[in-house]
């Protein structure tokens, strides 16, 4: 089971006086987020980086596949072709130890020097630029780019709903294709993880396993998690839309919400009913109404309401 890690990579500095102005391209272990900043672990003490100046990179420590992206986290060779914080695209896996070559240069990279990137903020940025470009197109160009136009003009919630349904169908299809094996899932909504176990019908022991873990700022969805975990157990590529699904924007019955009270206490409760501009959630022995704009959706699996 590959362990995931989170790094914050500096892309730019908003002003020359900021502490990371001379650290463009550097990476720091993430300690979480706070409002519009990342909190990171620096050699001296925890520090803060503006979100607009950085990108969050999630990695796994495992052998990569061709065309996967890797983050350089250590440099043991002194060739000078790459440095800590560089990102490369795998051209080939050289040996069983995980030594690789990348498309960006001709030198080999050792297994201890990289981690595999499992999120893709760069592609998200490209998608955003694509949508801006679509808005500036003329009619003929819009028609010629029909599929992209449809995707660009769908709401964020509609797109997430589509991806969830795609994930459900994907899991059912993979069950049917993987003949001779039983598939079990271990779901831990508190830890926001899904583990897929691929078991032989004959012997009954676990042949393969895969894990999916929601990023700290992402809404957990068990159906997307199952599709990711099962594909990893089967050694299949995980579609980008699963890894980069947009966050939900509409609270629905069955969602689990997180609300910060005036006291600073954080409550996490399932939504049991909705009204215009507000929602009701269970608390011990009573029902509490929250303004809907205060709620952050942290789990939209909605398995108990038949979705």
Residues 143-165: tens digit of each pLDDT = 455 554 444 445 788 989 999 99
pLDDT at 287: 65
pLDDT at 154: 53
Q: Which of 226, 220, 235, 221 is nearest to 196 (CA)?
A: 226
pLDDT at 120: 55
pLDDT at 148: 47
Give me the mean pLDDT over the 109-116 stretch. Answer: 94
Give dist(CA 120, CA 110) in Å, integer: 22
Give dist(CA 124, CA 155) in Å, integer: 16
In this predicted structure, the answer to whether residue 274 has a pLDDT above a threshold of 60 is: yes
pLDDT at 284: 53
In this predicted structure, the answer to whether residue 34 has a pLDDT above a threshold of 60 is: yes
- What contacts 61, CB < 8 A, 6 or more positions away? 2, 3, 5, 115, 116
**Span of 110-119, 151-160, 172-181, 183-192 with lowest mean pLDDT:** 151-160
Burial (CB count <10 Å: 0-12, 13-18, 19+), residue 250: middle
Q: What is the mean pLDDT of the chain?
A: 83
pTM tops 0.85: no
What is the residue extent of each domain of the chain? 4-117, 120-153, 155-243, 256-305
Q: What are phi and psi of 79, to 5 degrees?
A: -70, -30
- What contacts 131, CB < 8 A, 6 or more positions away? 152
Give me the mean pLDDT over the 166-184 stretch. Answer: 93
pLDDT at 26: 95
CATH of 256-305, one of 2.30.30, 3.40.50, 1.10.10, 1.10.1060: 2.30.30
């Amino acid at each position: 089971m590959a362990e995931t890690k989170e790094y914050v990579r500096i892309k730019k500095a908003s002003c020359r006086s900021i502490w990371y102005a001379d650290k463009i391209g550097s990476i720091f272990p993430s300690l979480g987020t706070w409002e519009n900043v990342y909190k990171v672990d620096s050699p001296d003490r925890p520090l803060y980086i503006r979100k607009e100046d950085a990108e969050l990179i999630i990695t796994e420590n495992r052998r990569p596949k061709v065309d996967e992206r890797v983050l350089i986290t250590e440099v043991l060779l002194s060739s000078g072709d790459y440095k800590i914080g560089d990102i490369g695209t795998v051209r080939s896996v050289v040996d069983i130890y995980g030594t690789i070559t990348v498309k960006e240069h001709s030198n080999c990279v050792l297994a201890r020097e990289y981690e595999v990137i499992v999120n893709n903020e760069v592609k998200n940025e490209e998608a955003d630029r694509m949508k801006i470009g679509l808005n500036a197109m003329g009619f003929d160009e819009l028609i010629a780019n029909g599929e992209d136009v449809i995707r660009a003009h769908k709401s964020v919630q509609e797109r997430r709903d589509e991806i969830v349904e795609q994930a459900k169908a994907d899991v059912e299809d993979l069950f049917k294709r993987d003949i001779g094996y039983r598939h079990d899932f271990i779901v831990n909504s508190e830890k926001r993880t899904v583990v897929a176990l691929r078991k032989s019908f004959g012997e009954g022991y676990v042949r393969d396993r895969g894990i999916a873990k929601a990023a700290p700022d992402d809404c957990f969805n068990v159906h997307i998690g199952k599709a990711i975990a099962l594909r990893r157990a089967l050694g299949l590529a995980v579609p980008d839309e699963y890894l980069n699904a947009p966050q939900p924007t509409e609270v629905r019955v069955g969602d689990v919400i997180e609300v910060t009270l005036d006291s600073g206490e954080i409550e996490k409760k399932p939504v049991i009913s909705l009204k215009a501009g507000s929602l009701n959630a269970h608390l011990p022995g009573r029902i509490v109404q929250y303004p809907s704009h205060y709620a952050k959706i942290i789990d939209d699996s909605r398995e108990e309401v038949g979705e």
